[in-house]
Amino acid sequence: MRLLLPQPRSLSPDDLHDLYDSGGNSLTRGGFVVSVDGGVSHAGGSRPLQSAADEASFHALRAVADAVVVGAGTARVEGYGPVRPRPAGIAWRTRHGRPAAPPLVIVSQSLNLDPGARCFSGPAVVVTCQTAAARRRDQLAEVATVLVAGQDRVDLAVAFQELRERGLTRLLCEGGPHLLTSLLTAGLLDELCLTLTPLLLGSAPQLLTEALGSPRRLELLHLIDGGGGVLLARYAVTAA
């Protein structure tokens, strides 16, 4: 891998930890892999878009996060398990005084989640709303921390504030597109990290699920040549 911008230099996968580190800054970041035409999945998942460079970025982004946030649908489709950094990521977290692994935060309005699912075999938080069935909340409370934010739908601003009050200030959203769109609409996304895979998918689920009320301008913070035509871009999200 090679950093192209802002200052060209060669990179090892372990260098990505410091490159993606936000320091002590609180932020919400999105991390996605997309095709050139904006598709985020093919044949039911994102695996056909992935590459060695994307995998390195994926693990580095997780390693420097305080929590990984995902929608319940994406957790089910992608078969999510607990967040498990690689040894280099664990070493980086140890040096920076962080727990060995960040918790997985699952956003679910309906609580259509299996308490026995693999995603609950590690530290997990479930974010839901007041109208979610009390019985489902009680079941999930046995395997995860359950946070209630909002009345009849999840209030992401309230949820994220509560996560930050618990010390989870650096949040990584891995999907899906509906959750990413909701974060952008609510003005809650600070950065967007995209792996651009040199594929054209045609008809495929897109990065955003609906038009934004107002455009968001992206400021390029760094650009990495991942090899084989793969580009890793990190953007700051600003108002239009």
Single-letter residue type at 9: R
Q: For the whole model, what pTM was predicted? A: 0.95
Of the pLDDT bands very low, low, confident and very high (cuts 50, 70, 90), residue 240 is low
DSSP state, residue 208: -
If one counts every other C-beta atom within 10 angstroms of the C-beta of residue 13, the result is 17
Q: What's the CATH number where 119 sits? A: 3.40.430.10
Q: Round the average pLDDT of the chain to a whole number and report it.
A: 95
Hey, is 227 helix, strand or coil?
Answer: strand
Beta strand 216-227 pairing with 230-239: antiparallel
pLDDT for the residue numbered 189? 97
Q: Check pLDDT > 70 for residue 139.
A: yes
Supply the DSSP symbol for 120: G
How many domains is the chain built from?
Answer: 1
The dihedral built from the CA positions of residue 96, 98, 100 and 106, taken in this order, carries a sign that is negative
CA–CA separation, 204 and 48 (whole Å)? 12
CB 152 within 8 A of CB 205: no
**What is the arithmetic mean of pLDDT over 139-155?**
96
Q: Which helix (H) or strand (E) holds 94?
A: helix 87-95
**Residues 5-18, mean pLDDT to the nearest whole number:** 96
CB 105 within 8 A of CB 146: no
At 85 the pLDDT is: 95
Distance of CA 90 to the CA centre of its chain: 18
- Span 225-231, mean pLDDT? 97
Q: Is the pLDDT of residue 145 over 80?
A: yes
CB 128 within 8 Å of CB 154: yes
Higher pLDDT, 23 or 70: 70
* Residue 134 backbone dihedrals phi, psi, to 5 degrees: -60, -35
* Integer CA distances (angstroms), 48 to 44, 161, 228, in order: 9, 35, 15
Return the structure tokens found at 232. 């890793």
92 phi and psi, to 5 degrees? -60, -45
Q: Is the pLDDT of residue 239 over 80?
A: no
What pLDDT score was predicted for residue 23?
A: 83
Cα distance between residue 86 and residue 225, in whole Å: 22
Once rounded to an integer, what is the mean pLDDT over residues 124-135?
96
Mean pLDDT computed over 42-47: 82
Domain that holds residue 135: 2-39+47-239
Name every residue whose Cβ is closer than 8 Å to that of residue 78 and which is 6 or more positions away in sequence: 45, 46, 175
DSSP-based three-state secondary structure for 207: coil
pLDDT per residue over 68-98, tens digit each? 999 999 999 889 999 999 999 999 999 999 9
